[in-house]
Amino acid sequence: MVNEFSAMALVFSQKNGTVCLLQAYDGKWVFPKGHVTSSESSIKAACRETREEAGVIINPHDCFAVIDGFSYCFLKVGIPVKKRVAVFAFSIPEATKIFTQEREFFGGGWFYYDTAISIITYDDEREAFKKAYSEFMRQLDVY
C-alpha cells in the first residue's frame, strides 16, 4: 500500500461567517486541498493549495484551529493507496473573489453554514467543517 499525505483548508470570512468551497467539474463541492510536498509543512501546503485552487491568499498565522484529520483508501492504477488528510481552519477578514486556477474546478463561492452543510459532497469533509465552524463561532464570541 502506498501512503499519500494531503492538507485541506477550511477558510472562513470574519465579516459574514461564510466558508470557501470549490465546485469540481464532476459536480462535487469540496474544500481546497492537495498533496504535501517533501519541502513543506502540512499547514503551508494547505495555504499553497488554497492559493492555487481558489486564488484565496491565506497564511499560517491565519490558522485558528487544527481539526481532526481523516484518511481514506482508494486504488490508483490498481495500486492501493491510503490518503491521510490534515485539516486546518483559517480565518480572514472578509471573503475575496475566488479564481479557480486548477483545471478540475468549475468555480466556487463563499457559503453560509446551512448551504455549505447541504452541498459538501464528502462526509469526512462535512464533519471537519462542523467542527471548524463550531470553533470559528466560539472565537467570534471572544472578540
Question: Counting every residue, how long is the chain?
Answer: 143
pLDDT of residue 142: 55
Tell whether domain 2-136 is in CATH 3.90.79.10: yes
Alpha carbon distance 66, 89 (integer Å): 6
- pTM, rounded to two decimals: 0.93
Q: What is the mean pLDDT of the chain?
A: 94
pLDDT of residue 141: 73
pLDDT of residue 126: 98
pLDDT of residue 102: 66
What digits encode the pLDDT tens for the residues 67-124? 999 999 999 999 999 999 999 999 999 998 888 766 788 889 999 999 999 999 999 9
pLDDT of residue 140: 78
For the chain, the structural domain boundaries read 2-136
23 or 99, which is more confident?
23
CB-side exposure of 135: number of CA atoms within 13 Å? 19
